[in-house]
Amino acid sequence: MDKVRLFDKTFRTFIPYGQIVEAIDRTADRINADFRGCEDIPVILCVLNGSIMFTAELMQRLEFNCELVSIKLSSYQGTGSTGKVRQALGLTADIRGRRVIIVEDIVDTGNTIVELKKIMEENGAAESRICTLLFKPDSYKKDIPLDYVAMEIPNDFIVGFGLDYNEIGRSLKDIYVLDE
């Protein structure tokens, strides 16, 4: 599909699935290099709902034992960030003393990352690293380093591969950009 219509907006193909998979392969290689042979069991923290598809693809490529944990935060309404991050679902497991790889679909303003790092600290994680499928460097104004970035993209509104527009479009295999 070259274009898709979601509610009142039209989106065109931006990143085909094949490119997404290649980026996930490269990211998994970097994570494996850091964690392969580890004695502990790191936590893969899936930030719901957006990173479900990325987390699933990534986990299939990891070569060490890990535990899947979820959390749900919310900051978007329509096509823009509200600027306020709220916790819609708390951590689904105890992370005290554990190494955590936070898996995000997209990092733009960084507000969610700041909140996630705070939650990790409050819950006693031994260490937390940030892994994101997509990164908008032009929007990011925080000083928290991102450990694993699969792809950098411009500051455009996108959907697909877990990302939504008012809760639809997540199931699209490719990533689409708003077609103005």
Is the Cα torsion angle 67, 85, 132, 140 positive or negative in sign? negative
Q: Looking at 8, 25, 94, 108, which residue is catalytic?
A: 108
CB proximity list for 27: less than 8 A, separation 6 or greater: 58, 131, 133, 148, 149, 150
Q: What is the number of helices (H) and of strands (E) in the chain?
A: 3, 10
Please say if 8 is a catalytic residue. no
Look up residue 127 and give its two tokens: 């260490």
Residue 20, Cβ density class (10 Å: 0-12 exposed, 13-18 middle, ≥19 buried):
buried
Which residues are known catalytic residues? Answer: 108
